[in-house]
């Protein structure tokens, strides 16, 4: 507990949830909530003024209660690339995650709202986004992996089953070592699968970190959907 | 009977010869024109002709036989009279008795045939009249009364024997029976009719007015005939007497011929041309008329110089001409029925067409009207135009066979409206006379009107079909609206149950578990396990709530549109689903109701696939074409016979799609899978929802 608490802004229109989350986070001692606001506009103002390390934002906020949170996240990421955003959503629907990650996955996390109850998960996500990485709620990945939906023209069609498994774990934000552990394989085997996946997805030229994120993005985009869209 | 018939035939021939003999003697030898021709033409000839006519057609019928006998007897009577007159003139036989004295036995014997003959005529008239219409006795006493009349034949013998003077005998034998017996006959007929009415005989009851009229007429005649007995055989009174004298014979003759034709008096169908009947009637009327006119002229000749009397005769003839024409017209109309003028025909048809929307009734109506109106042998009207209007044919008259029709001068008029041929009028030649240009015009005008009528009927039918269609649609709309409301209510009740029986109960259980945790805490126990349990329960409630909310409305649909919502729904299917989306649909937002209806369709279709289809794969296609959003869900399942589309939620789908102006096509078959394809009129939402 020698580290200084992470400076976080919370945006949530529901008062009880907002205060509950704040208390929960501050109670850990790892997070300092520098501001708790009720809508997207206030959030952007607070971020501009306070420059937190990370933001926790509700996806649905006034005035329209649709996807103000995502718009705010995009605005924050565009204005302050170093500030990570954890999106809390009541939608267990991958389409919202796609929407969030539409302009890139860096520094963004998509979590279901009830993950507040699983404090460790929330804290991990905050740390991940603060350091520019990305997290997707396991529930969303579960839906995508369980899906039987196919699209003949999807780029992932050429991946083997094993490569898809590895990619799924990558999407959950795991390191190669963690993946090897989960699949009971050697780390070098995982390394091989990761590289062949990158090659098949046309990501060989990218940097290591970016490649990883792009692979996840491709996975999220194409595994489920049939929409034909060029790679970003 | 045959012998009887032959005897009657012989009698008829004898009568004819008598008539010829009397006419010749009267006119040329005796120069007794005053009596001869008028009587022959006015009374004897009509009766004889009518008798022949009736007997020819019904040789065994009592009425026919009696009429012929009357005619024959009348002819014989006049023949006898002229023979004796001739003998008197040529040989100087004076058979006349002194005015108040007794005739010599020879003279009395010589007069006897004439006396019996005249009496026979009168008695036969009574028989004929009293036993109408069938000529056979039906009631007790009739035959007795009629037979007792023959006792009158004893008079010519009994009276001179009893010392009655010649003058008195003449009255009793010639004048009184001739005057009164027709009246008595008609009176007996009245009594017969009354008895018949009491006995429920309809034919007799119907005859009662005629019988009463005849009785009144003949009795009145008898009373006025008394003049003749006062004033001899000259002058105006003689003229009146002649007119009245001929009356019963003319009337009876006319009536029998007419009734034979019209009411089957003689019990047989007269299968002769109407013109023969009419000719007979014409002959009777003309004979009577001629006789009367001659009597007038001859009567005048007794008072005035010959020139003036001719003038009078001509004038009188001219004056009586309308009467004759009227009588002839009456006879014609009675025989031929009412003949319509062209104008009447058109007016009549016009009104028939105006109200005729039923071609099956109009066709025979037109055919009959045409046939009767123009006096055609046959007419056939065919209405309707093959393809969209069923053909109705009406035929009137006896239509000959095809080849005979072609040979018999059959003509046809097509019914035209614009370029359409809407039917055909065909007809044979006229029964009488030739087909005139006027007739042609009538048929042509009629054809034009009929074509218009058929056209109207066609329009009316079309209109009625459309009205039916609109009504059916209105009914369907009402039903579908009711179904939609019903479905909404059902859905609301289902959600309410899920909230109350599911989520609320879960929350209550959660509260109970929290209370349990507090109790344990109060006792200083370990509550970590309980709290974990509470947290897990809370997650479940959240999941449940999310599911319910999603069931009410898909947030993805409103937030991200149709394609996102459909792919999201497809991903949650437990069987493989391929989604093919036209790139032009990418991020397009349609009007709210369109998106919702399309999503509802896909949702329901997928639910159906899971419930019924037993499919291994589903393909969803979404595309745009010509302003339509096309959504198709195809499975490879068991399918169903397309006749049984009800009860699979398909009605609900159709209602939803049709409510937003779309249509739905369901193709399926046992073992062939099911394809549900819907087109929705594309309406793009104004604001883009990025």
Give pLDDT tens digits for B156-207.
888 877 877 777 777 777 778 888 888 888 898 898 888 888 888 887 888 8
Q: Give the residue on B whose Cα is nearest the Cα of A65.
A: B559
Residue A113 lies in a domain: yes
**Residue B579, Ramachandran bin (φ over 0: left; ψ between -120 and 50: alpha; else beta):** beta
Q: What pLDDT shows up at residue A37? A: 95
Asked if residue B672 is part of any domain, the answer here is yes
User: Are A122 and A159 within one domain?
Assistant: no
d(CA A133, CA B599): 36
- pLDDT interval class at B500 (50, 70, 90): confident
pLDDT of residue A55: 97
Note whether residue A35 is domain-resident.
yes
Determine the Cα–Cα distance for residues B55 and B12; give it in Å rounded to an integer: 10
Sign of CA dihedral B449, B451, B457, B463: negative
Whether A229 is covered by a domain: the verdict is: no
The range of the structural domain enclosing residue B415 comes to 342-460
The 3-state DSSP class for residue B443 equals helix
Q: What is the 3-state secondary structure (H, E, C) of B328-375?
A: HHHHHHHHHCCCCCHHHHHHHHHHHHHCCCCHHHHHHHHHHHHHHHHC
Choose the mutation target among B539, B555, B574, B622 for the interface with A, i.e. most A CBs under 10 Å.
B555
Does residue B337 carry a pLDDT above 60?
A: no
B474 domain-assigned: no
Out of B436, B460, B484, pick the residue that ends a domain: B460
Kindly state whether residues A96 and A25 are assigned to the same domain.
yes
Mean per-residue pLDDT over chain B, rounded: 79
**Burial (Cβ within 10 Å: 0-12, 13-18, ≥19) of residue B649:** middle
Residue B500 lies in a domain: no
Q: Do A149 and B556 touch (CB under 8 A)?
A: no
For residue B350, pLDDT beyond 70: no
pTM: 0.49
Same domain as A118, residue A21: yes
DSSP state for residue B672 in the 8-state scheme: S
pLDDT-wise least confident of A73-82, B93-102, B207-216, B639-648: B93-102
| A142 falls within a domain | no
Average pLDDT rounded to a whole number, residues A182-203: 81
Higher pLDDT, B561 or B102: B561
Question: pLDDT (tens digit, 9 = 90+) per residue, B139-158?
Answer: 888 888 888 888 888 888 88
Q: At B117, is the pLDDT very low, low, confident or very high (cuts 50, 70, 90)?
A: confident
Give the count of domains, chain B.
3
The DSSP letter of residue A93 is -
CB contact under 8 A, A94 and B577: no
Over 90: is that where the pLDDT of A202 sits? no
Final residue in a domain of this structure, among B313, B336, B359 = B336
What is the C-alpha separation between A56 and A87, in angstroms, rounded?
6
CATH number, domain containing residue B450: 3.30.450.40
Does A51 share its domain with A157?
no
Q: Which of A137, A165, A188 is the last residue of a domain?
A: A137
Residues B310 and B427 in one domain: no
Same domain, A86 and A187: no
- Residue at which a domain ends, from A90, A117, A137: A137
In terms of phi and psi (left: phi > 0; alpha: psi -120 to 50; beta: otherwise), the region of B425 is beta
Q: Let me know if residue A87 belongs to a domain.
A: yes
Q: Do B418 and B288 belong to one domain? A: no
Query: Choosing among A98, A122, A147, which should be mutated to test the B contact, i.e. which has the most B CBs within 10 A?
Result: A147
Q: Residue range B396-418: average pLDDT?
A: 67
Residue A10 phi, psi (nearest 5):
-110, 135
Confidence (pLDDT) at B164: 78
* Domain extent at residue A180: 147-222
Residues A147, B578: C-beta atoms closer than 8 Å: no
Task: Tell me which of B347-351, B513-517, B581-585, B654-658 is least confident.
Answer: B347-351
Q: Do B453 and B586 lie in a common domain?
A: no
Contact yes or no for A159/A146 (Cβ under 8 A):
no
Between the alpha carbon of residue B518 and those of residues B525, B534, B540, the distances in Å are 10, 12, 22
Same domain for A25 and A48, yes or no, is yes
pLDDT at A39: 92
User: Other CB atoms closer than 10 Å to residue B591's CB: what's the count?
Assistant: 16
For B532, the closest chain A residue by CA position comes to A117
pLDDT at B1 exceeding the cut of 50:
no
- CB-CB contact of B423 with B414 (8 Å): yes
Q: Which residues of B301-317 are buried (b: 16+ CB within 10 A; e: fewer)?
A: beeeeeeebeebbeebb
Domain identity same for B579 and B453: no
Judge if A21 and A63 occupy the same domain.
yes
Task: List, as own/partner pairs, every contact residues B330-334 make where C-beta atoms lie below 8 angstroms and the sequence separation is at least 24, other chains included.
Answer: B331/B254, B331/B258, B331/B278, B331/B281, B331/B282, B331/B285, B332/B278, B334/B258, B334/B262, B334/B281
**What's the gap between Cα B88 and its chain centre?**
68
Quote ipTM for the complex: 0.73
Q: Which CATH number is B560's domain given?
A: 3.30.565.10
Nearest to A148 by CA among B567, B604, B551: B567
Which residues in A86-114 are b (16+ Cβ under 10 Å) and which e? bbbbbbbbbbbbbbbbeebbbbbbbbbbb
Q: CA B154, CA B114: separation in Å to the nearest integer? A: 13
Q: Tell me, what DSSP letter sits at residue B683?
A: -
Q: Give yes or no: residues B41 and B152 share one domain.
A: yes
The closest alpha carbon to B139, from B214, B193, B213, belongs to B193
* pLDDT at residue B3 in the model: 57
Per-residue pLDDT, A215? 63
What average pLDDT does the segment B319-340 reach? 66
Beta bridge pairs of residue B393: B382
Q: Judge if B216 and B325 occupy the same domain.
A: yes
Q: Is the pLDDT of residue B105 over 90?
A: no
Residue A231 covered by a domain: no
The answer to the question of residue B506 being in a domain is: no
Q: Is residue B530 assigned to a domain?
A: no
Are A132 and A205 part of one and the same domain? no
pLDDT-derived band at A203 (thresholds 50, 70, 90) equals: low
Query: Least CB-CB distance to A151: which of B539, B563, B579?
Result: B579
pLDDT band at A137 (very low <50, low <70, confident <90, very high): confident
Mean pLDDT of A77-86: 94
Note the maximum CA span of chain B: 179
Burial of B609 (C-beta count, 10 Å sphere; 0-12/13-18/19+)? buried
> What's the pLDDT score for residue B341?
61
Most confident of B382-396, B405-419, B590-604, B654-668: B590-604
Predicted local confidence at residue B30, as pLDDT: 66
Distance from CA of A208 to the nearest CA of B (A): 31
Q: Is B157 in the same domain as B192?
A: yes
Same domain assignment for residues A39 and A62: yes
Query: Does B465 fall in a domain?
Result: no
Count helices and strands (H / E) in chain A: 10, 6
CATH number of domain containing A157: 1.10.10.10
| Residue ending a domain, choose from B283, B304, B336 | B336
* Selected residue with higher pLDDT from A126 and A199: A126
> What are the structure tokens assigned to B72, written together?
């024959």
Does residue A222 surpass a pLDDT of 70? Answer: no
* pLDDT(A156) > 80: no
pLDDT score for B689: 46
Beta pairing class for B674-681 and B628-635: antiparallel
Same domain assignment for residues B284 and B387 = no
Q: Up-side HSE of residue B669: CA atoms within 13 Å toward CB?
A: 1
Q: Are B207 and B81 contained in the same domain?
A: yes
Burial letters for B54-87: b for 16+ Cβ neighbours within 10 Å, e otherwise? bbebbbebbbbbbbbbbbbbbbbbbbbbbbbbbe
Q: State the Cα–Cα distance between residues B277 and B283, nearest whole angstrom.
A: 10
Whether B188 is in a domain gets the answer yes
Which residues 299-328 in chain B show a CB within 8 A of chain A?
Answer: none
Mean predicted confidence (pLDDT) in A1-15 = 86
Q: Do A93 and B573 touch (CB under 8 A)?
A: no
Question: Is A152's Cβ below 8 Å from some Cβ in B?
Answer: yes
- pLDDT at site B82: 79
Question: Do A16 and A118 belong to one domain?
Answer: yes
pLDDT digits 0-9 by tens, A34-49: 999 999 999 999 999 9
Q: How many CB pairs under 8 A join A and B?
A: 74
pLDDT at A1: 47
Binning pLDDT at 50, 70 and 90, where does residue B303 land?
low
* Structural domain includes residue A180: yes
- The pLDDT score that the predictor gives to residue A18 is 93
Which of A109, A137, A165 is the last residue in one of the domains? A137
Q: A149 — contact with chain B (CB < 8 Å)?
A: yes
Q: For residue range B587-641, what is the model confidence (pLDDT) as tens digits?
A: 788 888 899 999 999 999 998 899 888 898 999 999 998 889 999 999 998 888 7
How far is the alpha carbon of A146 from chain B, nearest alpha carbon, in Å? Answer: 8
Chain B residues whose beta carbon lies within 8 Å of the beta carbon of residue A61? none
- Per-residue pLDDT band for A229 (boundaries 50, 70, 90) equals very low
pLDDT in tens, B636-685: 988 887 666 556 578 888 888 888 888 888 888 888 889 999 999 888 77
Q: A221: pLDDT confidence band, cut at 50, 70 and 90?
A: low
Share of chain B above pLDDT 90, in %: 7
In a domain, A1, yes or no: no
Sign for the pseudo-dihedral over CA of B81, B83, B86, B87: negative
Same domain, yes or no: A167 and A73: no
B291, part of any domain? yes
Q: Report the number of distinct structural domains present in chain A.
A: 2
Helix (H, G, I), strand (E, B) or coil at B590: strand
B210 and B263 together in one domain? yes
Examine the domain organization and report whether B282 and B413 are in the same domain: no
Is residue A147 less than 8 Å (CB to CB) from chain B? Answer: yes
In this structure, the answer to whether residues A130 and A165 fall within a common structural domain is no
């Amino acid at each position: 507990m020698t580290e200084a608490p992470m400076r976080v802004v919370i945006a949530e229109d529901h008062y009880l949830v907002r205060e509950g989350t704040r208390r929960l986070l501050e109670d850990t001692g790892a997070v300092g909530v520098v501001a708790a606001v009720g809508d997207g506009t206030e959030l952007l103002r607070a971020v501009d003024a306070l420059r937190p390390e990370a933001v926790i934002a509700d996806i649905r906020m006034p005035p329209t209660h649709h996807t103000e949170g995502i718009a705010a996240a995009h605005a924050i990421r565009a204005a302050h690339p170093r500030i990570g955003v954890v999106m809390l959503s009541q939608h267990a629907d991958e389409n919202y995650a796609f929407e969030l990650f539409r302009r890139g996955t860096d520094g963004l996390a998509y979590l279901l709202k009830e993950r507040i109850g699983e404090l460790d998960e929330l804290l991990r996500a905050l740390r991940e986004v603060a350091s520019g990485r990305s997290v997707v709620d396991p529930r969303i990945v579960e839906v995508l992996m369980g899906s039987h939906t196919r699209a003949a023209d999807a780029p992932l069609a050429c991946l083997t089953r094993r490569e898809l498994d590895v990619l799924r774990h990558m999407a959950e934000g795991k390191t190669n070592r963690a993946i090897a552990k989960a699949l009971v394989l050697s780390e070098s085997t995982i390394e091989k699968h990761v590289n062949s996946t990158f090659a098949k997805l046309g990501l060989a030229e990218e940097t290591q970190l970016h490649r990883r994120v792009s692979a996840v993005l491709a996975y999220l985009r194409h595994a489920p959907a049939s929409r034909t869209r060029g790679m970003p | 009977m045959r012998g009887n018939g032959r005897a009657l035939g012989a009698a008829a021939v004898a009568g004819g010869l008598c008539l010829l003999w009397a006419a010749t003697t009267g006119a040329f030898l005796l120069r007794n024109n005053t009596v001869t021709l008028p009587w022959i033409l006015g009374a004897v000839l009509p009766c004889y002709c009518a008798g022949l006519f009736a007997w020819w057609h019904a040789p065994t019928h009592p009425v026919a036989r009696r009429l012929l006998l009357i005619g024959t007897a009348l002819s014989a009577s006049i023949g006898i009279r002229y023979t004796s007159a001739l003998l008197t003139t040529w040989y100087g036989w004076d058979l006349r008795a002194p005015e108040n004295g007794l005739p010599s036995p020879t003279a009395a014997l010589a007069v006897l045939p004439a006396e019996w003959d005249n009496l026979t005529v009168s008695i036969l008239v009574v028989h004929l009249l009293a036993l109408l219409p069938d000529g056979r006795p039906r009631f007790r006493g009739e035959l007795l009364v009629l037979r007792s009349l023959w006792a009158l034949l004893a008079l010519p013998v009994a009276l001179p024997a009893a010392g009655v003077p010649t003058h008195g005998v003449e009255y009793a034998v010639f004048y009184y029976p001739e005057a009164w017996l027709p009246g008595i006959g008609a009176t007996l007929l009245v009594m017969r009719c009354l008895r018949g009415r009491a006995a429920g005989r309809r034919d007799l009851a119907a005859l009662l007015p005629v019988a009463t009229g005849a009785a009144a007429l003949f009795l009145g005649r008898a009373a006025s005939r008394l003049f003749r007995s006062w004033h001899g055989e000259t002058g105006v009174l003689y003229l009146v007497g002649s007119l009245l004298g001929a009356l019963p014979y003319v009337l009876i003759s006319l009536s029998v011929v007419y009734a034979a034709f019209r009411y089957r008096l003689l019990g047989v169908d007269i299968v002769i041309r109407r013109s023969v009947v009419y000719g007979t009637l014409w002959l009777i009327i003309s004979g009577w008329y001629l006789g009367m006119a001659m009597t007038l002229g001859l009567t005048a000749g007794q008072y005035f110089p010959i020139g003036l009397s001719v003038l009078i005769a001509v004038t009188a003839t001219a004056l009586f001409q309308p009467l004759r024409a009227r009588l002839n017209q009456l006879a014609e109309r009675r025989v031929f029925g009412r003949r319509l003028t062209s104008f009447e025909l058109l007016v009549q048809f016009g009104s028939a067409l105006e109200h005729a929307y039923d071609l099956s009734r109009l066709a025979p109506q037109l055919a009959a009207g045409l046939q009767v109106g123009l006096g055609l042998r046959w007419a056939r009207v065919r209405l309707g135009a093959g393809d969209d209007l069923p053909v109705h044919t009406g035929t009137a008259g006896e239509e000959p066979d095809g080849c005979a029709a072609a040979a018999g001068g059959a003509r046809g008029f097509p019914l035209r409206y614009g370029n359409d041929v809407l039917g055909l009028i065909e007809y044979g030649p006229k029964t009488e006379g030739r087909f005139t240009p006027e007739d042609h015009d009538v048929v042509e005008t009629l054809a034009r009107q009929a074509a218009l009528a058929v056209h109207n009927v066609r329009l009316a039918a079309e209109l009625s079909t459309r009205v039916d269609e609109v009504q059916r649609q209105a009914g369907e709309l009402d039903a579908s609206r009711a179904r939609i409301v019903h479905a909404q209510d059902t859905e609301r009740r289902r959600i309410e149950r899920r909230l109350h029986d599911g989520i609320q109960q879960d929350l209550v259980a959660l509260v109970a578990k929290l209370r349990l945790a507090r109790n344990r805490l109060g006792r200083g126990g370990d509550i970590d396990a309980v709290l974990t349990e509470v947290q897990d329960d809370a997650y479940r409630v959240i999941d449940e709530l999310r599911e319910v909310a999603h069931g009410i409305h898909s947030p993805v649909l409103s937030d991200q549109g149709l394609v996102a919502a459909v792919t999201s729904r497809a991903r949650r299917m437990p069987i493989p689903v391929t989604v093919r989306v036209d790139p032009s649909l990418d991020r397009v937002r349609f009007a709210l109701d369109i998106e919702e209806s399309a999503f509802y369709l896909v949702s329901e279709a997928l639910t159906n696939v899971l419930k019924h289809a037993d499919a291994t794969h589903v393909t969803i296609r979404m595309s745009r074409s010509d302003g339509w959003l096309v959504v198709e869900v195809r499975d490879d399942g068991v399918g169903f016979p397309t006749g049984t589309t009800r009860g699979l939620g398909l009605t609900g789908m159709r209602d939803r799609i049709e409510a937003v102006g779309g249509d739905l096509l369901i193709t399926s078959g046992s073992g062939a899978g099911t394809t549900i394809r819907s087109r929705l009129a594309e309406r793009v939402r104004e604001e883009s929802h990025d």
